Structure 1
Amino acid sequence: MNLLIAIDGSEAALHACRLVAGYAGARPTVRITLLNVQRPPLRLSAQPGVEQSVLEGALREQGNRHLEDARALLPSGLREVASVVRIGPPAETILQEVRDGGAAALVMGSGRHGPLGGYAMGSVALRVAPAAPCPVVIVRPGARLPAERGKTLRVTAPVDGSQESVDAVRRLAGCAGLLGPMHVDLVHFHAGLPLAAAILPPHDDVLQAWSGLETDAALRLPAQILSEAGIAHAEHRLTGAADVEIAAFARRQTADLIAMGTRGAGAMHHLLLGSVALRTAQVSEVPVALMR
């Protein structure tokens, strides 16, 4: 299994590396690639200056220093570790590396200090997560890491009835060989009835929401997928706003990971991802796996 870790020298990226370093599963089957992407040098003038090759050499040297720091965190039990420095636009270059290397998962930090302070959620990770053909695990600096990665894992999986959330659960089940034994908490958040809906004559959609049919429908197929995969799970029906409650629910359940779907890679993807998944990744106390 190929794991790609994006390393940019930030504490968030190093913490992402610590997540992989603690993997206790089938280590001989895991191949790790540490990737550093340097932005191309910016030419402000057409006048002769430092040669392009010299600039690129300096960038590669800096990238290799970042990779050395990351590599030092990995234990010897993870034997196959490659280090790669690329020069190019970060998001596009990371995605190309994912495709070329057939990565089973991409792990990256969620630094929130702007484009010069790591792969900020608002820039690179936001563009990578919806477009990546593999799960993207986002790790905040200081996030609580699972104690036995690859041995036991408690996962919070929000579902909302959309095809994206069903696909996320299906992909999570497909990662069982990498993640090891799991207990998955499927959770559906019901927003509750606004005042107008409560006092006006009910429509079909209001009746479905009020009766719980909407929640039952959202949970049915994900639960079936996990049952067929032999993965232990529980169903939770809660009232509240998903964008503020997912991380809190995961904390109450002492979850090791949150796994949730993303929606596409078009011009509007940043709005769709940002509505729930991005906010969850920004506030979660544990790593968040975004799955398309």
Structure 2
Amino acid sequence: MGIPLVVGVDGSKASLEAVGWAANEAARHGIPLHLLHAAADEQEASEVIGSASARARQDAPAVRLSSEVSFEDAASALLDRGRSAFALVLGARGHGDLSGMLLGSVSLSVAARAGCPVVVVRGSQEHRAARFGNVVVGVEDGEGSGTAVDFALREAHVRACRLVAVHAWSAPSGACTTPRAPSWFLEAHRRPPAQVLDDALRHPAEKYRDAAVSRRLMEKPARRALLEAASTADLLVVGARRRLGYSGLQLGLINHALLHHAPCPVAVVPQM
């Protein structure tokens, strides 16, 4: 059947919005959609899976659909299924999250730890429905963006839309060039900002020669630059470095802020 796109469902409004987004995403890529619900009650699980299945069939009736109820905790179940998933898709908030939280605890934990791309579906209906025709990818200095650029270009290709590659920069201070700075950081700051973008896009763009690509250099903090670009985006893609053997949260401050405040769905793509 192929590697599935896995979406976590819990019956909440945000969860159903994630199912709708994921159903359309699975249709674009021609892959199966797998619904995963972590529950302690079988009757509740049946109702949640039933409503999620109905939403998926409504949005993308031709997509191959399967479902599963796990009795693990939600984050563990999702991380486990993510080992053999095209990507994991989650709502921004779940039933069990506190009303003051901007992003649900399960979504945050999975986005920080998964070994596959994780998409947190958030933002207005206009952004979730892909009405802008833009996929935005953040390109950072150094080695942290390669897999994210690949993912973003593939998304632009299947959506037949524009890729907007954003690199935010500022002149390095003296502290950035001390001998203690990592070698990739020193190398990145020896390159002009335009070259950072060109280098990141060169090889991935060869796979998708039909993709329309815009380069955007912004001399401002990366968080602000990406939030501005996301205001007219259907999807914002960012990379995340994973430290082998380290199980704690590995998002970084910028990605953490984007997951909480972006006006559109956010894809966090691990750079292994």
TM-score, shorter chain, exceeding 0.5: yes
**1:221 correspondence with 2:199:** yes
Residue-by-residue CA offset, 1:112-140 (whole Å, 9 max, x unaligned): 886467x9846322222243232111112
Q: Scaled by the length of structure 2, what TM-score is found?
A: 0.78
Matched position secondary structure for 2:144: helix
Q: Give CA deviations for 1:208-251 in whole Å, capped at 9, x if unaligned.
A: 96xx9441342122220343121321111111111233122221
User: Where do residues 40-189 of structure 1 align in structure 2 (5 Å cutoff)?
Assistant: 56=40, 59-74=41-56, 75=58, 77-99=61-83, 102-111=84-93, 115=97, 121=103, 123-140=105-122, 142=124, 144-147=126-129, 153-174=133-154, 179-189=158-168
Residue of structure 1 in register with 2:22 after alignment:
20
Shift of 1:89: 2.0
What are the ranges of 5 or more consecutive residues in structure 1 without an aligned counterpart?
39-55, 198-204
For 1:175 and 1:281, locate their aligned partners in 2 and report how far apart those are by CA, in whole Å.
19
**What's the TM-score, normalizing by structure 1?**
0.73
1:182·1:232 contact (CA, 8 Å) conserved in 2?
yes
Task: Using the TM superposition, give the Cα deviation of residue 274 of structure 1 relative to its aligned residue in structure 2, in angstroms.
Answer: 4.1
**Contact 1:108–1:137 (Cα < 8 Å) also in 2:** yes
For this pair of structures, how many residues does the alignment match?
Answer: 252
Letter in 2 for 1:15: E
- Where in structure 2 are there 5+ consecutive unaligned residues? 176-184
**Residues 269 and 232 from structure 1, CA distance in 2 versus in 1: closer, same or farther, beyond 3 angstroms?**
farther
Percent identity over the alignment?
27
**1:190 has 2:174 as partner:** no
Whole-angstrom CA distance in 2 between matches of 1:120 and 1:282: 5
Root-mean-square deviation (CA), in Å? 3.3
Give, in angstroms, the shift of residue 141 of structure 1. Answer: 5.9
Structure-2 change in CA distance of 1:60 and 1:113 (3 Å): closer
Return the index of the structure with the highest Cα Rg: 1
